[in-house]
């Protein structure tokens, strides 16, 4: 995957995650007090994963084509790990 495709795919996934985070925030507002704590912990984990992806996105944008070529496998591996963690957090409750 070239750098531009990676950047576009990552931006789209961040947008998707932002929508999921907004949905979770709405659930928190309507939840009972005991569930709010669980939802808030889940939401914090989701935001942390999203922030990691945003950091990787900025690194990819700033990388030269040669640097991207050298870093690509690390980015893809990190992307897969972070994406999996986000999905687990989103589906936990």
Helices (H), 1-93: 3-30, 33-62, 65-91
Q: Is the pTM here over 0.85, yes or no?
A: no
Categorize the per-residue pLDDT at 93 as very low, low, confident or very high, splitting at 50, 70 and 90.
Answer: low
Residue 40: CB partners within 8 Å, gap ≥ 6? 28
Closest C-alpha to 54, from 13, 2, 1: 13
Distance CA 84, CA 88 (A): 6
Return the SS3 of 19: helix
Condensed to tens digits (0 to 9), the pLDDT of residues 7-23 reads 899 999 999 999 989 98
Domain ranges of the chain: 3-91
Condensed to tens digits (0 to 9), the pLDDT of residues 59-75 reads 888 888 888 888 888 87
């Amino acid at each position: 995957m070239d750098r531009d495709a990676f950047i576009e795919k990552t931006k789209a996934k961040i947008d998707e995650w932002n929508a999921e985070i907004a949905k979770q925030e709405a659930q928190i507002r309507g939840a009972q007090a005991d569930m709010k704590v669980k939802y808030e912990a889940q939401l914090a984990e989701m935001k942390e994963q999203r922030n990691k992806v945003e950091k990787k996105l900025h690194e990819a944008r700033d990388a030269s084509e040669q640097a991207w070529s050298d870093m690509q496998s690390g980015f893809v591996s990190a992307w897969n790990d972070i994406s999996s963690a986000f999905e687990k957090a989103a589906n936990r409750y």
